[in-house]
Amino acid sequence: MIAYNNDWLKNLLVRNDIENALDENCITKEEHDAAYKKYPVGFYSTNIFTRIGLFILTHIILSFSFGLLVLIFISSIEHALDKLAIFFSILMYAALEYMVKEKKHYRSGVDDALLWGFACTLFCAISLPHDFAGLTNCMIVFIISCYCSIRFVNGLMAVVAYLSMLGILFYACLEFGSVAKAIVPFIIMAASMIVYFISRKIKLQQGAILYLNCINMILIASLISFYVAGNYYIVRELSNAMFDLNLKPADGIPLGWLFWIFTTSIPLIYIIRGVQKKDAILLRVGLLLVAAIVFTIRYYHTLMPIEILMTLAGILLLVVGYGLMKYLHEPKYGFTYKEIAAKNVPDKLNVEALVISQTFVPGTDDGGRKFGGGSFGGGGSSSDY
């Protein structure tokens, strides 16, 4: 199902853990080098700057190539543009499979550009000529992005698939009248939580190890979408724009008090649960969404000039940050201010034991020493030893 070499993907995960273990002085350089030989990886990958450059260059080549096709068939372009786009997307997909299978590209920039070029071109070729409605467009995006995320293990594609699924729910609710429109936020919140808990269960499965990046991206997206669906500003302004409520600045919305509770409490709940569960995703998303609380309150209630508010907030963050650094100078309750090389410490492998076991040469001569059974104490030893 996955286009990339599965063994190399697994070896790449092990190599990342080996690098983390070396950075934390858990293993020696000799053990590191020996373990690297045990887990070969033949992918062509690049650093972030080269990856960006190859991504841009590949898109330029694709654009010129498509333009050349348009010039060749310019006489009949008015009636065949969608078919030409579908044909070009098929060519891009074939090139993508070739670069992955034969040239062993993995996150090199070339395969990224071909993947997104194929997905976007195919969507435009199907949707634009027929002027589909929002529900149909979301379904097309969901099918394309879902396939791409499964086939090419792409985290951003997984997020697009998740958001398009929420779009399907949103536009489907609009088809069922005013009652469904009123409960859209709660439906989106429920769907977000369902996806979050299902993703957490899938993440614990051994077979999902190659999709950890996709699952983590979906976890982050589901936490954010749960908050966005209950944020007072989003609900009020989106309802006013899409449902023609014609609300004045001082007007509220039905159940406005409930959405204010969601707006101010959900990030704090994320932070508390993140601390309790030692969950970095919950903790970081919660801290990020604290800014959304400040923005929402500041938008509707002016407490003080924005310059003074930002200055006070900056001073408070500096004081709290400095205090936490002093308090966590020695690790307490599983937290420390020191940088940890491993991205997810609770899931970290016992790399040192793994490296030693893999570099140990089996079949070592025992020098003729034989151990016999015994009867004393039932421990396997006896006077015959």
Give, in degrees to the nearest 5, the angle at Cα 372 between 369 and 375: 150
How far apart (Å, rounded) are the C-alpha atoms in residues 188 and 228? Answer: 9
Q: What is the DSSP letter of 42?
A: -
pLDDT digits (tens, 9 = 90+) for 307-350: 777 787 778 778 877 776 777 667 766 666 665 544 444 444 34
At residue 342, φ and ψ (nearest 5 deg) are -70, 140
The predicted structure's pLDDT at residue 141 = 96
DSSP 94-112: HHHHHHHHTS-BSSSSHHH
pLDDT at 45 over 60: yes
The answer to whether 125 touches 96, Cβ cutoff 8 Å, is no
The predicted structure's pLDDT at residue 375 = 44
The predicted structure's pLDDT at residue 244 = 67
Res. 187 pLDDT band, cuts 50 70 90: very high
Instruction: Give the rounded distance of the alpha carbon of 128 from its chain centre.
Output: 29
Give the chain's mean pLDDT: 82
The predicted structure's pLDDT at residue 349 = 39
Q: For the ranges 42-46, 231-235, 366-370, which has the lowest average pLDDT?
A: 366-370
Res. 100 pLDDT band, cuts 50 70 90: very high
The predicted structure's pLDDT at residue 344 = 44
Q: Residue 228: name the closest of 176, 272, 192 by CA.
A: 192
- Residue 148 or 26, more confident: 148
Res. 165 pLDDT band, cuts 50 70 90: very high
Owner of token pair 């893999």: 358
Question: How many other β-carbons are positioned within 10 Å of the β-carbon of residue 207?
Answer: 7
Helices and strands per DSSP (H, E), number in the chain: 15, 0
pLDDT digits (tens, 9 = 90+) for 299-308: 777 766 767 7
Q: What is the DSSP letter of 24?
A: T
Give the best-scoring range by mean pLDDT among 65-79, 198-212, 360-374.
198-212
The predicted structure's pLDDT at residue 379 = 45
Instruction: Give the rounded distance of the alpha carbon of 33 from its chain centre.
Output: 30
The predicted structure's pLDDT at residue 183 = 87
Beta strands in 113-265 (DSSP E): none
Mean pLDDT score, 351-370: 45
Residue 242 contacts by C-beta under 8 Å, 6 or more apart in sequence? none
Give the best-scoring range by mean pLDDT among 8-17, 50-59, 307-316.
50-59
The predicted structure's pLDDT at residue 169 = 93
CA–CA distances in Å: residue 175 to residues 134, 143, 168, 171: 11, 21, 11, 7
The predicted structure's pLDDT at residue 191 = 95
How far apart (Å, rounded) are the C-alpha atoms in residues 156 and 148? Answer: 10
The predicted structure's pLDDT at residue 333 = 64
pLDDT at 248 over 80: no
Q: Residue 221: name the closest of 264, 283, 163 by CA.
A: 163
The predicted structure's pLDDT at residue 336 = 65
How far apart (Å, rounded) are the C-alpha atoms in residues 86 and 78? Answer: 15
pTM of the shown model? 0.81
Lookup: tokens for 111: 């395969």
The predicted structure's pLDDT at residue 186 = 93
CA–CA distances in Å: residue 137 to residues 54, 77, 167, 226: 30, 24, 9, 22
